[in-house]
Amino acid sequence: MDTKPIAVTGATGYVGGRLIPLLLKEGYRIRAAGRDPAKLGCRPWAQHPNVELVQADTLDRAAMTRALQGCRAVYYLVHSMIARKEKFIQADRQSARNLVAATAANHVEQIIYLGGLGDLKHPRISKHLISRHEVARILKQGPVPITDLRAAMILGSGSASFEILRYLVERLPVMLTPKWVHTPCQPIAISDVLAYLVGCLKAPGTIGRTFDIGGPDILTYKQIIDIFAEEAGLPPRKIVPVPLLTPQLSAQWIHLITPVPAAIAVPLAEGLSTPVICRNDRIHEFVPHTPVGCRESIRIALDRVAQEKIDTCWTDAGYITTPEWAYCGDADYAGGTINTCGYRMRLAAKPEAVWQPVARLGGRQGWYFGRGLWWLRGKLDSLLGGTGIRRGRRHPSDLRVGDAVDFWRVVQVEPNRRLLLVADHKLPGEALLDFTVTPVGANQVDLTQTARFLPRGLSGLLYWYAFYPFHQFIIAGMLKAVAQKINAPVIAGPTRYTLKIPNACRIEL
């Protein structure tokens, strides 16, 4: 086997995070590239001896050129729909051009790209699918040969398509849908996508070719919904097509019902009116593999959800937008006045016991106190086009940097010591939520919860002071609820405290 490393861009994404363990199992050396080193370092495979972690943004040509030095092949698994939202087309275009330049400069032998199906001549082809095809075209214009794999709907626990399907079927016994419900689709299981991705690296005959990949079933979206309901043990769903319901309106409807934000729901929903079926099966000439059917794919995905074994999730993608004012070394006045609301409580318990409920915040567990208020805040965020509180979390107790926790995202996690979350919802400013567990003696712990907010303009100030009483009520209530959760005697508190921003509030990197 060639000992040159294989680069995987989008290593912390849904597909990349699952592909790397399979490549390692095959004996390849991997160079995992991502924008955030903390997110890379938290992945289960990060410490493998055959993995090298590199920080590189595909929008930074120089960084990509350095990241691909000495690599034999590169998997291009980057999509800007989450990170760049409505500007994803321009970002994907520039990223593709940067990859062409970086691979050419390093004499890479092969690019393996996961794109999308769909006929460009179709009158209702979506911007999302046009962008997927444009990226393939840009990559093919470079000197490095590309293996272009084109897939439709990917079925797997944690994929955006599967999560949309799951939430719609589970929550709506009656669905008003556009005519796209009768559009033919050829879904494919994530396990089959990964098998083809690995297979193309091992089969030189795939270099320079384009392949359609899909499962054995060609179904309408209505049929897929019916199969999902049967496999989930739900009554048949009543589907009522409404001709006047446009893809844009249905995308907003999807956003309100599911945790998928409008920035993702709109491009995906627009693509549902385009048939996405395989026009050839030539991939089997080079990569012998028998894909599983739609029903089995859904059954496997539901089983992994039930067993809480979701390795990667669509929410893994995206930037961790840590506020600049959170870093050590800045002056007190840097960036503006930071508003804080903090409470501390002393418990008769060990740090490990106190940490357990902190690490399980959000998702199905909820926030322990003021559930109605959290629900209302999530609804407001959904109406404003944000993620809402239904996004949940990847795992009920395991946390990694970059994980989504409802409408927050993990910035820093130190087991038994600290959990720092950054707001990932619509706010007139920037917010952090900080939990610290500090031993203060034999079997005594200080549990501290602090909310910090840097307002943006007058609206930010009005927001902070209007909600300040609720912040006090919720934070103090959450600390009490944590103590009750672990049956820990309260020695003191919860009590308000003030902290000096430079000494105690900033992130230690």
Q: Assign 3-class secondary structure to 251-301.
A: HHHHHHHCCCCHHHHHHHHHHHHCCECCCCCCHHHHCCCCCCCHHHHHHHH
Cβ neighbors of 355 (< 8 A, separation 6 or more) are 415, 416, 417, 437
Place of tokens 């595909």: 58
Q: What is the domain count for the chain? A: 2
Q: Which amino acid is at 233?
A: G
Q: Say yes or no: 336 and 310 in one domain.
A: no
**Collapsed DSSP state (helix, strand, coil) of residue 196:** helix
Contact 364, 377 (CB under 8 A): no
Q: Say yes or no: 401 and 449 in one domain.
A: yes
Contact 272, 247 (CB under 8 A): yes
pLDDT of residue 81: 58
Nearest Cα to Cα of residue 188 among 171, 212, 208: 212
Q: Say yes or no: 267 and 345 in one domain.
A: no
Place of tokens 């990060």: 46
CA distance 355 to 281: 51
Report the DSSP beta bridge partners of residue 435. Answer: 419, 449
Nearest Cα to Cα of residue 30 among 1, 59, 57: 1
pLDDT of residue 463: 86
pLDDT of residue 308: 46
pLDDT of residue 328: 37
Domain boundary among 316, 341, 372: 316
Residue 431 lies in a domain: yes
pLDDT of residue 464: 87
Q: Say yes or no: 296 and 420 in one domain.
A: no
CA distance 123 to 120: 8
Q: Say yes or no: 275 and 329 in one domain.
A: no
Report the DSSP beta bridge partners of residue 175. Answer: 239
Q: Say yes or no: 372 and 257 in one domain.
A: no
Domain of residue 463 covers 324-505
Contact 271, 130 (CB under 8 A): no
Directed axis angle between helix 262-270 and helix 160-171, to 10°?
Answer: 90
Q: Say yes or no: 148 and 24 in one domain.
A: yes
pLDDT of residue 112: 97
Give φ, ψ of 491 to 5 degrees: -85, -40
Which H helix or E strand runs over 185? Answer: strand 184-185
Q: Say yes or no: 343 and 294 in one domain.
A: no
Nearest Cα to Cα of residue 340 among 179, 149, 471: 471
Place of tokens 């597909």: 15
CATH of the domain at 115: 3.40.50.720
Place of tokens 């289960």: 44
CATH of the domain at 471: 3.30.530.20
pLDDT of residue 94: 93
Place of tokens 């944690």: 158
pLDDT of residue 337: 64
pLDDT of residue 373: 86
Contact 19, 78 (CB under 8 A): no
Q: Say yes or no: 442 and 305 in one domain.
A: no
Domain boundary among 280, 300, 316: 316
Q: Which amino acid is at 75?
A: Y
Contact 5, 29 (CB under 8 A): yes
Domain boundary among 316, 339, 356: 316
Residue 1 lies in a domain: no
* Structure-token pair, residue 343: 């409470």
Q: Which residues of 110-138 are buried (b: 16+ CB within 10 A; e: fewer)?
A: bbbbbbbbbeeeeeebbebbebbbbbbeb
CA distance 474 to 402: 25
The strand pair at 73-76 and 154-155 is best described as unpaired
In 10 A of CB 47, how many CB atoms?
9
Q: Say yes or no: 195 and 331 in one domain.
A: no
Q: Say yes or no: 37 and 146 in one domain.
A: yes
CA distance 212 to 19: 19
Q: Say yes or no: 311 and 328 in one domain.
A: no
**Collapsed DSSP state (helix, strand, coil) of residue 50:** coil
pLDDT of residue 404: 84
Nearest Cα to Cα of residue 438 among 321, 354, 356, 317: 354
CA distance 276 to 255: 22
Residue 123 CA, chain-centre distance (Å), reads 31
Query: Which residues of the chain carry a pLDDT beneath 70?
Result: 1-2, 80-86, 244-248, 250-253, 255-256, 259-267, 304-337, 498-509
366: left (phi over 0), alpha (psi -120 to 50) or beta: left
**Collapsed DSSP state (helix, strand, coil) of residue 101:** helix
pLDDT of residue 332: 37
Cβ neighbors of 372 (< 8 A, separation 6 or more) are none
CA distance 354 to 361: 12
